[in-house]
Amino acid sequence: NAGVTQTPKFRVLKTGQSMTLLCAQDMNHEYMYWYRQDPGMGLRLIHYSVGEGTTAKGEVPDGYNVSRLKKQNFLLGLESAAPSQTSVYFCASSYGPYTGELFFGEGSRLTVL
């Protein structure tokens, strides 16, 4: 049972480079989320999606774009990476708004030099 899978797990970028983080879930969940985790700040919501073809901004959306072309996939893009985007990124999913927990991926550590 894969659950929520994030790729890549680690990446080092130079300032200005672009990249995409892929999140895939096999639980047929409607809701998917991208969070970033920084020391002392907990997890902060970047963008989320309530279903295929929909996306919405979270708490810290600037510098990121997302797409949900397929229900099982949620992509997070950095068009022009900045050192401030050095962080650990977590993808999560849930069945719906009224159900219980979020299921998390293992995290992706991104370093921008």
Partner 1 sequence: AQKITQTQPGMFVQEKEAVTLDCTYDTSDQSYGLFWYKQPSSGEMIFLIYQGSYDEQNATEGRYSLNFQKARKSANLVISASQLGDSAMYFCAMREIAGTASKLTFGTGTRLQVTL
Residues that bind partner 1 (CB under 8 A): 31, 33, 35, 40-45, 48, 50, 56, 58-59, 88, 90, 92, 94, 96-98, 100-104, 106-107
Distances in Å between the Cα of 53 and the Cα atoms of 47, 69, 96 are 13, 5, 16
Query: What is the nearest approach in angstroms of partner 1 to the Cβ of residue 80?
Result: 26
Query: What is the nearest approach in angstroms of partner 1 to the Cβ of residue 105?
Result: 8
Query: What is the nearest approach in angstroms of partner 1 to the Cβ of residue 12?
Result: 17
Question: Which residues have CB under 8 Å from 90's CB, separation 6+?
Answer: 6, 34, 35, 36, 37, 43, 104, 105, 107, 108
